Structure 1
Amino acid sequence: MPRPDVRRLLDYVNAAGPTELDIEIVRKSQDAAVEQADLPMGDLATVRDLEMPGGIRARLFDPRESREPGPVVLWLHGGGFVWGGVESHQSLCAQAARELDLPVVLVEYRLAPEAKFPAAQDDAETAARWLAGNPAELGREVRSLVLAGDSAGGLLTIVTAMALRDRPAAVGVDAHLVIYPVADESREYPSEREFAEGYLLTAAQRRWFREQYQPVPDDVRASPLLGDLTGLPPAVVMTAELDPVRDHGRAYAAALVSAGVPTVFQEAKGIVHAFVLMRGAVPSARADVSAALAALRGVTGTAA
């Protein structure tokens, strides 16, 4: 059952009807939705744009002007591989930087349909290896990485963690955080049928996202649950109870445990997909985001 603030949001969205599935309309409507539903970014000591190899855009968020050598968080945003970037997720990453007391680098990878599978995966790995190489542009010495992402960015986080396990970067990965990740394009899960309509992210939207991005279902970089998860860094996995991709996250957490990976699993009850971008319209979501970040602090050993 939806929480009261989630119920109000769903009533509003369902009454408005579906958005036309045209790429420019979807991008503009999602930008407008985040502007209305999310919180302001707030103040940080450091907010600075970065440019990575290949023209990949990124933004650094840090509650401190300078700091000692340590971990850096790489955040890979959601948006169905067709939408999102440094503007859509800057408030979320600012919260993460404050609550983790770590620098967070938000990466704006290439989007579909202009860049189809596996362009986003390639950009995510490129960004991680660039950060691990201690680029002077960052202005901070990187001793290790923490990988994080939501939705499509959750998939990219998993795939990047696998890539850096198989071919290590200049520094290691302490942990990875995935929030309502997509993890398996090779099959349909029960939650995809249970929450196909009326819970914000619809079956029609998910089909359209896949048509734009064109993932290869049996490729491990589209369906990491088909791959070997042994040896991945410790994980925090958070799902949303009323979410068509809920069971992807549940299955991923279970597979991590079976593979011997230290894993914290959390499920946000009574809430829907994309809640990390709705902390203004859905105030209860703020505690869920904070819970995931607190778990990540514990896993990385940086808890206050």
Structure 2
Amino acid sequence: MEPGQGTALPLHPDCTALLQRLERAGVRPVSELSPQAARRLGMRLYDLERQQGESSLLRQLIRFKGATIPQLAEAMGRSEAELDHLLDRLYLAGSVLRQERQPGVVTWSTRLSQQRRTLQDRALIDRLGDPGQPNPRAQARSDRLTTENLYLGGKLRARLYLPPGCGSGLLPVVLFAHGGGWVIGSIETHESLCRTLCEQSGCAFVSVDYRLAPEHPWPAAADDVECALHWLVSHGSDLGLDINRLGVMGDSAGGNLALVAAMAARSAGLCKPRALVLACATLDPSLGLPSYRDLAEAPFLSAADMRWYVSHYQPDPGHWRGSPLVGDLRDLPPSLVIAASHDPARDDSEVFSERLDAAGGQVTLQRYEGMFHDFILFSGAIAAGQEACGAIARMLREQLQP
């Protein structure tokens, strides 16, 4: 794209349709929001697909007046694993009921008159458990994806995702840092992505709820993700995780933090992750690469949005922990880099790939035409998002599985 063309290249029709839906839903550019309002409202963008899925599921349950997961999956044309997750969320919220009239056959309904819940539910049992006892999932795991909230080092919150049917052996694990410009986002907003990749790759995921700016400017977020990596290396085996098969991943600002954590681990001799995945990573806080000019008015993330984020995070553009492109890229793990053609941060990914290749690294760059920043979060609505998630899962299986 030549300078000054802006976003003249056409968006993919899937992206155009999604943006129209978001506009009708009243989603505003993050640059129009204060940091506090952004945390309350900015993540609505990530939640729309999940909320629509829940509404559709409730409508089907009302029609059936009670159904099993296989019956719902067939009626809705969706996977049983996806419906299982949605039903669990609705159950914990008190919106649906579950009954097991015969062993192994659970029927769900929308009757709201039940006054108490049974203790058959895994999440409720976990809540009642003694936090000082060893994690039982390290010895015996379920045939369905399970999650557990953790506190790393006593105060850093994280969420562990275990893939279905994983048995009792040690699992490969991916440390995940969420996007959100270092200002918004959380393990909640990226739960769907982590679940999808956990299920498809067969790897455990640990998603880190690092501190956010402006209350905690640079390098707080980088410190937290590096702390999480240190904690995993020291304690991961207690959770049934194989730290010798460790990957690091992040999207958007999380890609910056994931790369910095991998570089720090290498420099400190802590460990060398076996895989690195960066999705639409924002690696140049100086915002000096051409795509920030050529795609200044790109949808979902504009150059003005990026300036707003960076102004709150306040990283040092001359230090590799703030701007990893200026650091030493030698001896990094095999890397998969996902880029979008209509992303102001597109050149961050492309320059990083070129420099990593020049430094002797193994890198695969996949650029998706017609896509906007962080499109992988919309894999439920955009086919390219599904394709990118599939590529990430394959890479993780290849690098981390035996």
TM-score, normalised via structure 1 length: 0.91
Residue aligned with 2:182, SS: coil
- Alpha carbons 1:70, 1:143 under 8 Å: kept: no
1:28 corresponds in structure 2 to 40
- Mapped contact 2:171–2:204 kept (Cα < 8 A): no
Instruction: Give the equivalent residue in structure 2 for 1:261.
Output: 361
Counterpart-to-counterpart distance in 2, 1:121 and 1:135:
20
Q: Indicate whether 1:302 and 2:302 are aligned.
A: no
Q: Which residue pairs with 1:151 in the alignment?
A: 252
Q: Secondary structure at the match of 2:241?
A: coil
Q: Which amino acid aligns with 1:210?
A: V
The answer to whether the 8 A contact 1:236-1:263 is kept is yes
Using the TM superposition, give the Cα deviation of residue 70 of structure 1 relative to its aligned residue in structure 2, in angstroms.
Answer: 4.2
Q: Which residue of 2 aligns with 1:215?
A: 315
2:232 aligns with 131
The answer as to 2:210 corresponding to 1:109 is yes
Partner of 1:287: 387
Following superposition, the deviation at residue 30 of structure 1 comes to 2.4
Q: Is the 8 A contact 1:132 1:144 kept in 2?
A: no
- Secondary structure of the structure 2 residue equivalent to 1:79: coil
Shift of 1:283: 4.2
User: What does residue 80 of structure 1 align with?
Assistant: 181
Greater RCO (Cα-Cα under 8 Å, separation 6 or more):
1
- Residues 110-140 of structure 1 show CA distances to partners (whole Å, capped at 9, x for unaligned) of 0001100000110010000100113466343
* Residue pair 1:178, 1:237 contacting (<8 A) in 2 also: yes
Q: CA deviation at 1:180?
A: 0.9
Once the two structures are superposed, residues 203-261 of structure 1 have per-residue CA deviations (whole angstroms, 9 ceiling, x without a partner) of 22111111111111111111111111111111111111110000000000111100001
SS at match of 2:320: coil
CA distance in 1, matches of 2:191, 2:169: 23
Does the 8 A contact of 2:277 with 2:337 survive in 1?
yes
Counterpart mapping for 1:1-304 below 5 A: 1-13=10-22, 18-19=29-30, 20-37=32-49, 42=82, 43=85, 44-53=144-153, 55-64=155-164, 66-135=167-236, 138-169=239-270, 171-298=271-398, 300=399, 302=401
Q: Is the 8 A contact 1:73 1:105 kept in 2?
A: yes
1:302 maps to a residue whose letter is Q
Q: Give me the whole-angstrom Cα distance separating, in 2, the residues matched to 1:142 and 1:216.
A: 31
User: Aligned partner of 2:246: which letter?
Assistant: L
Q: Deviations over 1:2-26 (max 9, x none)?
A: 1111012334556755452211221
CA distance in 1, matches of 2:291, 2:22: 20
Q: Which has the larger radius of gyration?
A: 2
- Residue 25 of structure 1 aligns with an amino acid whose one-letter code is A
CA deviation after TM superposition for structure 1 residue 282, in Å: 2.8
Distance in structure 1 (CA, Å) of the matches to 2:298 and 2:282: 19
Instruction: Name the TM-score, length of structure 2 as normaliser.
Output: 0.70
Contact 1:37 1:279 in 2 (8 A): no
The CA distance in 2 between the partners of 1:135 and 1:7, in whole Å, is 42
Any conservation in 2 of the 1:50–1:137 contact (CA below 8 Å)?
A: no
What is the alpha-carbon distance in structure 1 between the residues aligned to residue 44 and residue 286 of structure 2?
A: 32
Paired residues of 1:76 and 1:148 also in contact (CA < 8 A): yes
**What is the rounded CA distance, in whole Å, between the counterparts of 1:158 and 1:97 in structure 2?**
20
Amino acid at match of 2:362: P
Shift of 1:69: 2.2
> Deviation digits for residues 134-188 of structure 1, max 9, x if unmatched?
346634343331001101010011111110111122x541111111111122351
Mapped partners of 2:18, 2:298: distance in 1: 11
- Give me the identity figure in percent: 36
Provide the rounded CA distance (Å) in 1 between the counterparts of 2:344 and 2:21: 19
Give, as a single letter, the amino acid of the residue that structure 2 aligns with 1:21.
Answer: L
Residues 266, 292 of structure 1: 8 Å contact kept: no
**Secondary structure at 2:43's aligned position in 1?**
helix
Q: C-alpha separation between the residues in 1 aligned to 2:22 and 2:48?
A: 13
Q: How many residues align?
A: 301
Counterpart-to-counterpart distance in 1, 2:14 and 2:160: 32
Q: Gaps spanning 5+ residues in structure 2: where?
A: 1-9, 55-80, 86-143
Q: Is the 8 A contact 1:46 1:63 kept in 2?
A: yes
State the alpha-carbon separation in 2 of the partners of residues 288 and 144 from structure 1: 22
Instruction: Rate the CA distance shift 1:285–1:50 in 2: closer, same or farther, 3 A.
Output: same
- Work out whether residues 282 and 348 of structure 2, in 8 Å CA contact, stay in contact via their aligned partners in 1: yes
